[in-house]
Amino acid sequence: MHKQTDQAAGIRKMNTMKPVRVIAVTSGKGGVGKTNISVNIGIALSQMGQRVVLMDADMGLANVDILLGVYPQFNLSHVLLGEKTLSEIMIEGPEGLRVIPGASGIQKMSELTTIEQAAVVNAFSEIDHDLDVLIVDTAAGISASVVNFARASQEIIVVVCDEPTSLTDAYAFIKLLNRDYGLSNFHVITNMVQTAQQGHALFQKLSKVTDRYLDVTLQYAGAVPFDEYLRKSVQKQTPVVAAFPRSRSSQALKTIATRINSWPIKSQAGGYIEFFIERMIQYGSQKDVA
């Protein structure tokens, strides 16, 4: 009885927390620049005065730290083991962006059970009072971990580039979330395009297929052009919006961040943390009964 009371008190506490904009940045396949977009949008939002935390949720192949040129001593695996809190593993990035490092190369982190994922996400309750935006940079593909992070987030951004496999895999990911989990709203960013027109045409190509076969709404968040300065920023391990703020890619990313900042914040229950808490209690109860 005491355990159930504690769990109920925890959920009541979470339901009274101020709304936080929670955004999952995903892609159907790797190599489309998803993490670079996550990092730069996070910094652009920070420059607008938002308190932003970027979670590297690519369990097993985390690389946000590489793009930022930082070398964290601790990561999410230490939170999972109960050795550290989220505040203790968090590192400071450029422009006030805070980063929760993933666990690169640790096989166990890429095979988390639902209840283990819940333990990690539950730890977010300790930082919610100092947070406006949480960006979740997921792994590529459609693993259970990626699906869970996407389902739990308030907004889902799918990054695509002008490659047939990118569009095919993005469609497969949207189809899975729509048909199996009832998600119907997605934002799309087209990356590494030559012109704004090409970016919009790429979005229309994906939208045409989803309109025909799925019951979803795709919203165009914008295009990021192929830019030599973006490549230079990766080599410098400094995000392009900080290293080359006047470059074409930087300006495009800032425009996208401005659009994101205008999205309504969903303040009702059922957000990121509560999704995992509900399932943690569910699986915990099943274990207790057994």
DSSP string, 101-140: ---TT-GGGGG--HHHHHHHHHGGGGTGGG-SEEEEEEPS
Task: Give the largest CA-CA distance in the chain.
Answer: 61
pLDDT of residue 276: 43
Tokens of 243: 């290293």
pLDDT of residue 283: 38
* Identity at 102, one-letter amino acid code: G
Determine the angle formed by the axes of helices 164-181 and 196-213, rounding to 10 degrees: 40
pLDDT of residue 69: 77
pLDDT of residue 132: 87
Cα torsion 226, 35, 99, 235: sign: negative
pLDDT of residue 14: 46
- Domains of the chain and any CATH numbers: 27-289 (3.40.50.300)
pLDDT tens per residue, the chain (290 residues)? 444 445 544 544 544 456 778 899 999 888 899 999 999 999 999 999 999 999 888 766 657 777 887 788 888 778 877 788 888 999 998 899 999 888 765 556 556 666 666 666 666 666 666 788 989 899 888 887 788 788 878 899 999 999 999 999 999 999 999 999 899 999 999 999 999 999 999 999 999 999 999 999 999 999 999 999 988 998 888 999 999 999 999 999 999 999 999 998 765 544 444 544 454 344 344 444 33
Measured CA to CA in angstroms, residue 145 lies from 125, 127, 275 at distances of 20, 22, 13
What end-to-end distance do the CA atoms of the chain give, in Å? Answer: 17
pTM of the shown model: 0.83
